[in-house]
Copies of this chain bind each other. A is one copy, B any other.
Amino acid sequence: MNDSEPIGQNIDEGEVGFVDFSDFVSNEPFHFESGGVIPELKIRYETYGQLNQAKDNAILICHALTGDHHCAGVYDITERKRGWWNFMVGPGKPIDTNRYFVICSNVLGGCQGSTGPNSINPETGKRYNLDFPKLTLRDMVKAQSLLVDSLEIDKLHAVIGGSMGGMLTLQWAKDFPDRLNRYISLASGSKHTAQTIAFNETGRQAIMRDPKWNKGAYDSEDGPFSGLSVARMMAHITYLSDVGLEAKFGRKLKQSDVSKEHFDAEFEVESYLHYQGRSFVTRFDANSYLYLTKALDRFDFFEGVSPEVTVNKIQAKGLVVGFDSDWLYPPEGNRDVVEKLLKYGKEASYVEISMDYGHDSFLVQSQDLYQLIHNYLNS
């Protein structure tokens, strides 16, 4: 995720404008794939546009690892930044709120309103922390399906998302084949490579080796912020591309009048990363980061068996989009999903878009992506 959404535009035609979030709350026990159970479930979400009478115009947006439910509009006049996919969602935009009822939910296991490790366990009155059950993408999708139930929607027009969100769209197509017409998976793939697992594990170790992690039982005001910052700094590098970083920073030196301590940031790219680490800890929970990255590492869409078994479950048609500069979830991994779907007779298309922003390309406005999503949703 990057935070580079342009700011300062007027809220006018073409914008969803002011929005607010809602909470779906279920007091039924929620059962995880691992066998774990929590006594209640809350999923925070936003909606834009109107559900039609036939209730067949809903689109579900799935966010990336550190994203949230706030993908379009602003909460109030002082908010400088729009939602993370504001260029994509709005009246007349590719995910057209004049036409579609758009839902974006925070995931189960997250830390921004949905039930997750930092939620209070009603049975103990304390935060779950590591008592939160082992989490999978199947669990997240199941929780989202309960939210969709609560909105009395039987079948979604589409499920769409990038990165982890892209994997969630695939999981939707597999687990709820008759509840969606189409899915769009951006910058994702069927599973993590060894390299991606290695990066995630290094990030988890940065958190867990921070003495303030305290086996997950930290004070929310005094958590493993150092470790979480380091994890974010590293991850952030993997979200961008070598070419993109070089174009933006190269070897530009930081402007500074103060005399330097040994090992203060000298290059602009260092200050930029420091900022990424610093701001991340103000909005994200360390335990959530552990649970979500582990769920991603465990995700294996074809489950190591013949792809046919997975593919046969799918009914919706799919569009998978890879980005040529994405080395975290490389184009080949995206293309491979479509090749397997086609091999076993499903309707699926692969598109590769050339952009320099690396994995984060799906978060950056481009005419190619804009047109593609618009046309695929209306096809």
List residues of A whose CB falls within 8 A of some B CB.
130, 134, 191-195, 197-199, 201-202, 204-206, 208-211, 216, 226-227, 229-230, 233-234, 237, 240, 242, 245-246, 248-251, 262-263, 265-267, 269-270, 273-274, 277, 290, 294, 297-298, 300, 304, 327, 330
Contacts and interface: CB of A to CB of B under 8 A. Distances in A.
B251 A201 contact: no
A230 B206 contact: yes
B193 A237 contact: no
A191 B251 contact: yes
B206 A251 contact: no
Contacts of A269: 194, 197-198, 201
A262 B194 contact: no
Contacts of A234: 199, 202, 234
29 contacts: A192-B251, A193-B242, A193-B245, A194-B242, A194-B245, A194-B246, A194-B249, A194-B250, A194-B267, A194-B269, A195-B246, A199-B234, A201-B267, A201-B270, A201-B273, A202-B234, A204-B263, A205-B229, A205-B233, A205-B274, A205-B277, A208-B263, A209-B227, A210-B226, A211-B211, A230-B230, A242-B327, A262-B290, A266-B298
Contacts of A246: 193-195
B205 A251 contact: no
A191 B250 CA distance: 10
A251 B194 contact: yes
A229 B208 contact: no
B245 A195 contact: yes
B193 A205 contact: no
Nearest to A272: B198
A202 B248 CA distance: 18
A267 B297 contact: yes
A374 to B, nearest CB: 33
Contacts of A330: 242
Contacts of A267: 194, 197, 201, 297
Residue of A226, A227, A230, A300 with most chain B CB atoms under a 10 A cut-off: A230
B237 A202 contact: yes
10 closest residue pairs by CB, A with B: A209-B226, A194-B245, A194-B249, A201-B270, A202-B233, A194-B269, A195-B242, A206-B230, A202-B234, A198-B237
A294 B194 CA distance: 29
A200 B351 CA distance: 34
Contacts of A211: 211
Given A229-B209, A267-B197, A134 B242 contact: no
Given A201-B265, A205-B274, 9 more contacts: A193-B242, A193-B245, A194-B250, A194-B267, A194-B269, A195-B245, A195-B246, A197-B267, A242-B327
A192 B250 CA distance: 9
A206 B208 contact: no
A246 B251 CA distance: 32
Given A198-B270, A269-B198, A130 B209 contact: no
Contacts of A250: 193-194
A257 to B, nearest CB: 19
A230 B198 CA distance: 11
Nearest to A235: B202
Contacts of A270: 197-198, 201
Nearest to A234: B202
